[in-house]
Chain A
C-alpha cells in the first residue's frame, strides 16, 4: 500500500520468470492456508497464509519465539497445525508423517549421527529408501564433492570443525533430492567470517541443485544476502513479505523497519497533504518533514518517518533551506569503523539520531568531534512513512 506504483508496475515477462510472486498466474509450490498452531493457550503461529514458489530461497525472519521455527517444523511434519492447511506441490500434507514428506531438513544443531562416519551420515537417507549400494556410493561421492568434503568421508562428526559439520548436514539433507529443503538457522553455529563465506556458498549450491529452500533465521543480514524473498514474523504473525529490496526500502511497519537494518523513527503529525506531497510536523524531531509523495491518511493523524542512517547528511553549516528535512543537534557519540563512521546526534528534544557517513576521502583528522554542533538533513524521498 505504501509501495509506489512504479515499483509494483514492473510486471513483464522476464519478471514473471524470476519473480513468480509478481505473476498472478503462477502456481505456488508451498502453500500455507490460514495455518494456526497452539501450544496450550499460546498461539505459536496465528492464522498464517503464505505462498512460496518453486526454486525460491525463502527466508522466515524474526526474533526468538516469533513462530518461524514452528512454521518450518509444520512443513517438515514434526508438528501438525491446530487448524489450517499446508500444501506442498499441490498435495495436502495433513496427516502425512515426516518420513513420507518430500522435504528434508538441515537442523540447527546439524543433528549428525555421532556413531556414523561422514559417508554413512550422508548415505543414511538413500539406504533407508533402499537405493542400491553402487548407486548410493556414487551419489554420496558426488554430494560430498559438491560440498567439498570428499577428503573427510571416513571421519566421525566429532572429528570435524563446525563449518565441516555444516557441510555434511547440508549434504545429508540434499542427497534425497527433496522437493523442499528446510534450513533451521543454517549458519547460526558458525563464526562471523565463516558465516559470510558460507552464505554465498549455500546460494551457489541452491542455484546448482535448483531445490526450493525455506530457511529460518534471526539474522537479517543472512536473510538479505541469501533470500529471494523474506517473511518478517512477529508474535506468530507475518508482518510483511517481500524481496530484501522491498522490505528495506518500503517497510510497512516500524517493526519491519527496525528489524531490517538500522533506522531512525521520528514520530509526527500530518499537517498538510496533497496528491504530490505531504508534510509531517514532528515535535521530537524538532522539524517539519517534507515527503515527495501522497500519504494515505487525514490531517492530525500520527505517522512515523523512517530514516535510514546512511540517507542522512551531516554538515557543520546549516543548509541553504532549513524549512524542511533539516534539524540541528550536538554530536554525542562517534564510532569510527574505518570504512564508515557512525554518529549519534542529540537533538534539542533529547531525541537521538543515528547517522552513518562513508569515509570516502582520507582525512588529516576526524571530521567531527564530540559536542560539535551539526546539521542533519535529507532528501525529500529519503523517508518512508509508516502508520503502525
Chain B
C-alpha cells in the first residue's frame, strides 16, 4: 500500500505511533511548567525584590535606564533570614517536629501495614479501605474534630473527669502534643500505604526459610523483613516528613502560640506583615530544605536499582 492512499485515520494512527510517546509525556510536563515552574520563578523573583508600600507591594527587578535594562538583585531578604534568629528557630523547630512525627508515624504505621499485608484477601481490602476512608472527609473538618477531642472542655477531659481519674482538666490543645497528634493522625495513611506495598510483595517463604534456618520469629523480622522493607520505610518517611515540615493548618489550629513552625512564619510574613519579598525568601529557603532530602532519596533509589540490575 503506498502512503498517499492512506485514509486520514491511518495517517493519524501512524503519526500517533511515532509521536504519541512525546505527547503523553509532554502534556504533564507542560502542566508542571505552567503551574509549578513559572509561579516558582515569580516567587524567586519577588524574593530578590524590596518591600514597598505599593501595588504590588514590592520593587521591580528590571528598570529601563538610559535605554538599557538594569537588573537590581536584592540579597537583603536572605541575609535578613540569617540575621534574625526567629527564622532559624522556626526552621529547626519544623524539622524537629516533622522528624519526631515521622518516627511516631513509622512506629504506629509499620505494625498496621504488616497486619494488613498478612491479612486474608477479603479482610485485607476492607482494612485498606479503612485506611483510605478518612480522605473522604475534608482535612480541615478532621483537624477541627481534634479540637473538640483535645479541648479543655473536650471529649477526653469530659470522660476523664466523669470517671474521676482526674479532677482538673488536662491542657492538651494549644500544645506541641496536640500538633504531634494532628500530624501523626493526618499523615498516617501516607506511611501505611508505601509500607504495605513493599510488605505485601514480600515472599512469605523468605520468613519461613529464616525460621527453618534457626531464627526465632523476632530474629527473622530483624534480619529479613525489616531490611527488605527499607525502601517502603524510606518512601513513607519522606511522604510524611516533607509535607509535615511545611505544615501550616495543624500548628495553626492545634498548636499554641509557642509552636513556631516555618509554615506559620511564612503565613505571617505574607498576610500579617505584607512583606512579600521576605515571605518569598522564606518559601524559597524552605523549598531548598525539602529538595535536598528528595534528591538524596532519588539518588539512593537509583543506586539501589543499579545494583539490582
A173-201 contacts to B (CB < 8 Å): 173, 176
The answer to whether A111 touches B228 (Cβ under 8 A) is no
Contact residue among B211, B224, B227 (Cβ-Cβ distance under 8 Å from A98): B211
The answer to whether A99 touches B216 (Cβ under 8 A) is yes
Given contacts A105-B212, A125-B213, contact A158 B203 (CB under 8 A): no
Number of interface residues of B (CB under 8 A): 18
Given contacts A107-B205, A107-B209, A128-B219, contact A113 B214 (CB under 8 A): no
How many inter-chain contacts with C-beta < 8 Å in the A-B complex?
59
The answer to whether A124 touches B206 (Cβ under 8 A) is no
Contact residue among A76, A111, A156, A176 (Cβ-Cβ distance under 8 Å from B214): A176
Q: Which residues of A contact B209 (CB under 8 A)?
A: 105, 107, 111-113, 172
Q: Which residues of B contact A76 (CB under 8 A)?
A: 208, 212
In the assembled complex, B308 has its CB within 8 A of some CB on chain A: yes
Taking each of B206, B214, B228, which has the highest tally of chain A beta carbons within 10 Å of its own beta carbon?
A: B214
The answer to whether A113 touches B215 (Cβ under 8 A) is no
Closest Cβ of chain A to B118, distance in Å, is 15
B7-62 contacts to A (CB < 8 Å): none
In the assembled complex, A300 has its CB within 8 A of some CB on chain B: no
The answer to whether A128 touches B208 (Cβ under 8 A) is no
Given contacts A114-B228, A115-B227, A115-B228, contact A107 B208 (CB under 8 A): yes
Q: Which residues of B contact A99 (CB under 8 A)?
A: 211-216
Interface SS of B by simple majority: helix
Q: Which residues of A contact B214 (CB under 8 A)?
A: 99, 125, 128-129, 176
Complexed CA–CA distance, A78 and B212 (Å)? 9
Q: Which residues of B contact A176 (CB under 8 A)?
A: 213-214
Sample of 25 A–B contacts (CB below 8 Å): A76-B208, A76-B212, A77-B211, A98-B208, A99-B213, A104-B213, A105-B209, A107-B208, A107-B209, A109-B203, A109-B205, A111-B203, A111-B208, A111-B209, A112-B209, A113-B206, A113-B210, A114-B206, A115-B227, A124-B213, A125-B214, A129-B214, A156-B308, A172-B213, A176-B213
The answer to whether B212 touches A98 (Cβ under 8 A) is yes
Interface residues of B (CB under 8 A from A): 203, 205-206, 208-216, 219, 224, 227-228, 307-308
In the assembled complex, A103 has its CB within 8 A of some CB on chain B: yes
Q: Which residues of B contact A173 (CB under 8 A)?
A: 212
Closest Cβ of chain A to B198, distance in Å, is 12
Q: Which residues of B contact A297 (CB under 8 A)?
A: none
Q: Mask for A66-87, Cβ within 8 A of B = 1, else 0?
A: 0000000000111000000000
Q: Which residues of A contact B213 (CB under 8 A)?
A: 99, 104, 124-125, 128, 172, 176
The answer to whether A113 touches B219 (Cβ under 8 A) is no
The answer to whether A111 touches B211 (Cβ under 8 A) is no
- Of all chain B residues, the one with the shortest Cβ separation from A115 is B227
Closest Cβ of chain B to A20, distance in Å, is 27
The answer to whether B215 touches A128 (Cβ under 8 A) is yes
Q: A99-B216, A104-B212, A113-B209 are in contact. List 18 more A-B contacts (CB 8 A).
A: A77-B211, A77-B212, A78-B211, A99-B212, A99-B213, A99-B214, A103-B212, A107-B205, A109-B205, A111-B209, A112-B209, A113-B206, A125-B213, A128-B214, A128-B215, A156-B307, A172-B209, A176-B214
The answer to whether A113 touches B224 (Cβ under 8 A) is yes
Complexed CA–CA distance, A129 and B215 (Å)? 9
A108-122 contacts to B (CB < 8 Å): 108-109, 111-115
The 8 A-B pairs of least Cβ separation, nearest first, read A125-B213, A111-B209, A128-B214, A111-B205, A98-B211, A107-B205, A105-B212, A99-B211
Q: Which residues of A contact B211 (CB under 8 A)?
A: 77-78, 97-99
Q: Which residues of B contact A98 (CB under 8 A)?
A: 208, 211-212
Closest Cβ of chain A to B263, distance in Å, is 38
Complexed CA–CA distance, A113 and B212 (Å)? 13
Closest Cβ of chain A to B120, distance in Å, is 12
A226-248 contacts to B (CB < 8 Å): none
Q: Which residues of A contact B307 (CB under 8 A)?
A: 156
Taking each of B211, B215, B216, which has the highest tally of chain A beta carbons within 10 Å of its own beta carbon?
A: B211
Q: Which residues of A contact B210 (CB under 8 A)?
A: 113, 124
Q: Which residues of B contact A114 (CB under 8 A)?
A: 206, 228
Closest Cβ of chain B to A97, distance in Å, is 7
Q: Which residues of B contact A109 (CB under 8 A)?
A: 203, 205
Q: Which residues of B contact A78 (CB under 8 A)?
A: 208, 211
Complexed CA–CA distance, A128 and B220 (Å)? 10
Complexed CA–CA distance, A103 and B216 (Å)? 15
Q: Mask for A49-78, Cβ within 8 A of B = 1, else 0?
A: 000000000000000000000000000111
Given contacts A111-B203, A113-B224, contact A158 B212 (CB under 8 A): no
Complexed CA–CA distance, A105 and B203 (Å)? 15
- Of all chain A residues, the one with the shortest Cβ separation from B309 is A158
Taking each of B208, B209, B224, B227, which has the highest tally of chain A beta carbons within 10 Å of its own beta carbon?
A: B209
Complexed CA–CA distance, A113 and B205 (Å)? 10
Closest Cβ of chain B to A153, distance in Å, is 17
Closest Cβ of chain B to A347, distance in Å, is 49
Complexed CA–CA distance, A107 and B209 (Å)? 8
- Of all chain A residues, the one with the shortest Cβ separation from B211 is A98
- Of all chain B residues, the one with the shortest Cβ separation from A169 is B209
Q: Which residues of A contact B227 (CB under 8 A)?
A: 115
Q: Which residues of A contact B219 (CB under 8 A)?
A: 128
Q: Which residues of B contact A125 (CB under 8 A)?
A: 213-214
Taking each of A111, A124, A158, which has the highest tally of chain B beta carbons within 10 Å of its own beta carbon?
A: A111
Complexed CA–CA distance, A107 and B219 (Å)? 20
Q: Which residues of A contact B208 (CB under 8 A)?
A: 76, 78, 98, 105, 107, 111
The answer to whether A111 touches B215 (Cβ under 8 A) is no
Closest Cβ of chain A to B9, distance in Å, is 45
A299-348 contacts to B (CB < 8 Å): none
Complexed CA–CA distance, A138 and B212 (Å)? 22
Complexed CA–CA distance, A151 and B248 (Å)? 57
The answer to whether A158 touches B308 (Cβ under 8 A) is yes
- Of all chain A residues, the one with the shortest Cβ separation from B207 is A111
- Of all chain B residues, the one with the shortest Cβ separation from A178 is B212
Complexed CA–CA distance, A314 and B212 (Å)? 54
Closest Cβ of chain A to B173, distance in Å, is 45
